[in-house]
Amino acid sequence: DAMVIQNPRYQVTQFGKPVTLSCSQTLNHNVMYWYQQKSSQAPKLLFHYYDKDFNNEADTPDNFQSRRPNTSFCFLDIRSPGLGDAAMYLCATSRGGARETQYFGPGTRLLVL
């Protein structure tokens, strides 16, 4: 029944070592989002795809990249993780449109050593 699946649930990486987080969806939604959420803070949108169209937030560091090879999958690549990148990374999907519900995955907790 899982609709938005994130793997892994926990990821430990070393400072500067590239890491990839994965998201898949069974909802066939047009839009996929990546959020970063730090402790006791709101989710912060990093970027999103509407189908194949990529939309980067202005304040998203270049260190963060994303790929969406098909409708179902989306990846978050952190090229050189720093200690400040330790956070929960949330993937969400929606059909698109201002009043559509966003469905969030359970998140990947990233720890940077």
∠95-49-12 over CA atoms, to 5°? 110
Size of the site for another protein (CB under 8 A): 26
Binding mask 28-47 for another protein (x = CB under 8 A): ---x--------xxxx-x--
Give whichever of 16 and 29 is closer to another protein, judged by the CB atom.
29
Q: Which residues contact 56 (CB under 8 A, 6 or more apart)?
A: 46, 47
Smallest distance from another protein to CB 51, Å: 10
Residue 45's CB: how many other CB atoms inside 10 A?
17
> How far apart (Å, rounded) are the C-alpha atoms in residues 85 and 91?
16
Smallest distance from another protein to CB 78, Å: 19
Residue 55 in contact with another protein, rule: CB under 8 A = yes
Residues in contact with another protein by the rule CB under 8 A: 4, 31, 40-43, 45, 48, 50, 55, 90, 92, 94-107
